[in-house]
C-alpha cells in the first residue's frame, strides 16, 4: 500500500501546542493545527482540547477573518460579548468578519471538551480587539489593534473559567 499523500493527516500525528499570552501565566487549551499540517494556507483548521477549568483564548473579535467553533465532544460555555451560552457536542458557533462579536470558549465542567476551530488564516493588515484584556494592546504592534471595532454592549462575565477566578481570589 502506498504512503498516504501529504494532504492527509491524522490528528494524533500532529504536535499539540499550548499558547500563553504575554503578561500571563495561564495556558490556553492545547491546539493541534491540523489544517496547516495538511497544507492549508488560507484556512486555519484546528483541533483544540479544553481540559476542565481552561478556555480557548482570551475574549476577542476579528476585523476581517471569519471564525467558527464546533463542539466535537463535551460541554463548554461560549462567552459571547460578556454572556455565557452553554454548548454541547454537535453545536456550532459562527463569527462573521467585521461584526465585533467578542468570543471565547470556557470549560467549567469536570470533563474534557474537544473543539473543531476554524476560520480564515491571518491576513496582512488583520486587526483584533480584546474587550476585557486591554493590556493586550501593549503586546501588539499598533497596526494590529482594532481600535474602531463596532460598539457592542458587554455583559458582566469576565471571561475567566470559574476555577481560575477562584484561584486568583
Nearest by Cα to 126 from 104, 141, 139, 115: 141
- Cα–Cα distance measured from residue 163 to residue 42, given in angstroms and rounded to the nearest whole number: 36
Is it true that domain 28-160 has CATH number 2.60.120.10? yes
Reported pTM: 0.95
Helix (H) or strand (E) holding 103: strand 103-106
Q: Which residues contact 62 (CB under 8 A, 6 or more apart)?
A: 95, 97, 119, 126, 127, 128, 146
- Cα–Cα distance measured from residue 68 to residue 77, given in angstroms and rounded to the nearest whole number: 14
Nearest by Cα to 133 from 60, 27, 67: 60
Reported as a single tens digit per residue, the pLDDT across 116-166 is: 999 998 888 899 999 999 999 999 999 999 999 999 999 999 999 999 999
Amino acid at each position: 500500500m502506498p504512503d498516504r499523500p501529504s494532504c492527509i493527516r491524522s490528528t494524533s500525528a500532529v504536535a499539540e501546542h499550548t499558547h500563553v499570552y504575554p503578561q500571563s501565566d495561564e495556558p490556553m487549551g492545547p491546539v493541534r493545527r491540523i489544517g496547516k499540517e495538511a497544507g492549508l494556507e488560507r484556512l486555519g483548521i484546528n483541533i483544540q482540547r479544553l481540559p476542565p477549568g481552561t478556555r480557548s483564548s482570551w475574549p476577542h473579535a476579528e476585523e476581517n477573518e471569519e471564525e467558527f467553533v464546533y463542539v466535537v465532544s463535551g460541554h463548554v460555555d461560549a462567552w459571547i460579548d460578556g454572556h455565557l451560552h452553554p454548548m454541547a457536542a454537535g453545536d456550532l458557533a459562527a463569527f462573521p468578519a467585521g461584526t465585533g462579536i467578542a468570543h471565547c470558549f470556557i470549560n467549567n465542567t469536570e470533563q474534557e471538551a474537544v473543539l473543531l476551530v476554524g476560520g480564515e488564516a491571518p491576513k496582512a493588515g488583520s486587526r483584533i480587539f480584546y474587550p476585557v484584556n486591554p493590556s493586550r494592546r501593549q503586546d501588539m504592534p499598533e497596526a494590529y489593534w482594532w481600535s474602531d471595532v463596532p460598539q457592542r454592549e458587554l455583559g458582566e462575565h469576565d471571561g475567566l473559567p470559574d476555577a481560575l477566578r477562584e484561584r486568583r481570589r
